[in-house]
Amino acid sequence: MKKLFSINDIENLRIEEIWDLYRKYVNNSQVDLISKFGFGKDIAIKAEKNFIYTKLGKKIYDFTGGIGVLNHGHNNERILKAREWFQKNRFMEVHKNYFSPYVAALSSNISNLLPEDLDISYFSNSGSDANEGAIKLAYKYHEGKRDYILNSNISFHGKKILTSNITDSRETKYFQFQELVKSESFEFNNFESLREKVSVLKKSGKSNVYAIILEPFSASSLLSLSENFLRKTRKLCDEHDIVLIFDEVYSGWAKTGNLFYFMNFKNLIPDILTSGKSLGGGKASISAYTCRKKFFKKAYDNLRDATLHSTTFNGLGEETLTAIEAINTLIDENFVTKSKNIYKIVNSGLNNLKNKYPDIIKEVRGSGSLNGIIINTNFSDKYIQPMLSLIPSKFAKDEYAIKKIIVSSYISELYDNHDILTFYGSNIDLPLKISCPIITDEESLYYFLKSFEKVLQLGTVTVLKNFIKKNIF
């Protein structure tokens, strides 16, 4: 038998060795992709608050927020202590034949924070899992008698086969997986487009739509649905007995300046709410769907179907304990107010930069601690055509390659010369996203804005040349 890696062995691995292991045993193209876009050349050895510390001695300002996971920052002390307490006492982790006090308490806490009768929660591993569970419940609620679920044309609900069917991100459209659900898309924030879909999809004279799934705030595009659209959709669903699902996996848990984005609008609630990412406080992989009682009661509240939607890890122990502490932390430390304060600083700063550099920044978007910009990627052929010849054919096949490279060049410049980590969204607009942990201090926010202006002063052509030269496209 070949030698197995020990923990000590792993600590001593060099980046070249990690790359080699990834190429052999994980994903060769992932190494190519990440390295060609300027990353993966250092090892993160420690992380706390809004900082990542690397093996090469860098202190990185994390403005990705773990892609929505790290509202509490890296290794939040309260959450670490809660997990240590659980482990020290050797508490029961998983078993279906014992009722979990942690599942019960977490469900109760979530219900107490949400409006009206959003009371019943089911916990799973990822946002995709939560959305799949919500879709399954909606379909079961209608006893399989309706065929369609509707989603917007910029939606992102996950990458599993089922959830990719209702995701209109370009990232999931290059290859079409088998259609596991019948879905139709409507134009984002266009109620007439949605209403038309509902009116057309009928069976035996009645609606053939069992659910509409929406992102009140789209994290991939940084666009939000209007109150008018949401209220009209709520009324439409009531009229046709359609299950209304709000996907707040990314935008939830104070990310966008309220506990959930939909709570900005009084007396407007979904039938099912999905959440995740920061629900685990940056330390546990946990998600949830939370639904109104009448929908759960009809779908699953009987002896025959009580376990129809369940898994081995349904008795989640440490994950649910972690989520309890994560929620209590964000309430005790007033994350909603902190998120709003981040928005005031970052949004104002980005708009000031837009006014100074209108040829580079087309638009500023965001809410709470999730913000970003749309970079102008339209340049004359005299600049773009020579660069096209430098791009490997495997990148050139991507119709958005030029746009991705331009945005990535700014991300790379921020990282290489200012130790700031950002990323871009998967939507067609490819916004450069600033999604910092909610615990990020003002000094870090102003450092980002100051550093970003220095990058903007260079101009796109210079930033792009630096990027291409460094990464040898």
Yes or no: domain 38-68+335-471 corresponds to CATH 2.40.50.140: no
Yes or no: domain 77-332 corresponds to CATH 3.40.640.10: yes
Digits of tens for pLDDT over the chain (473 positions)?
Answer: 888 999 899 988 999 999 888 898 888 888 887 877 678 888 889 999 999 999 999 999 999 999 999 999 999 999 999 999 999 988 877 767 788 889 999 999 999 999 989 999 999 989 999 999 999 999 999 999 999 999 999 888 887 877 878 888 665 566 677 777 889 999 999 999 999 999 999 998 899 999 999 999 999 999 999 999 999 999 999 999 999 999 999 999 999 999 999 999 999 999 999 999 999 999 999 999 999 999 988 888 787 777 767 777 766 789 999 999 999 999 999 999 999 999 999 999 999 999 999 999 999 999 999 999 999 987 655 665 566 556 655 555 566 777 888 899 999 999 999 999 999 887 778 899 999 999 999 999 999 999 999 999 999 989 988 888 887 55
pLDDT score at 92: 77
Assign 203 to helix, strand or coil. Answer: strand
Phi, psi angles (nearest 5°) of residue 72:
-85, 0
Structure tokens at 71: 């509202």
Q: Residue 149 is inside which H or E element, if any? A: strand 148-152
Distance, in Å, from the CA atom of 70 to the CA atom of 283, rounded to the nearest integer, reads: 9
Count of Cβ atoms closer than 10 Å to residue 179 Cβ? 11
The neighbouring-strand residues paired with 209 are: 148
pLDDT score at 404: 83
CB 69 within 8 A of CB 278: yes
C-alpha distance from residue 186 to each of 22, 152, 352 (Å): 39, 5, 34
Helix 401-418 × helix 460-471 angle, to 10° = 90
- Could you give the residue range(s) of every CATH 3.40.640.10 domain in the chain? 77-332
Phi, psi angles (nearest 5°) of residue 192:
-65, -35
pLDDT score at 394: 54
Helices (H), 389-459: 393-396, 401-418, 442-458
- Could you give the residue range(s) of every CATH 3.90.1150.10 domain in the chain? 38-68+335-471
DSSP state of 3: P
pLDDT score at 250: 96
Task: List, as one string, the DSSP characters of 39-104.
Answer: -SSS-EEEEEBTEEEETTS-EEEE-SHHHHT-TT-BT-HHHHHHHHHHHHTT-----TTS--HHHH
Phi, psi angles (nearest 5°) of residue 11:
-60, -25
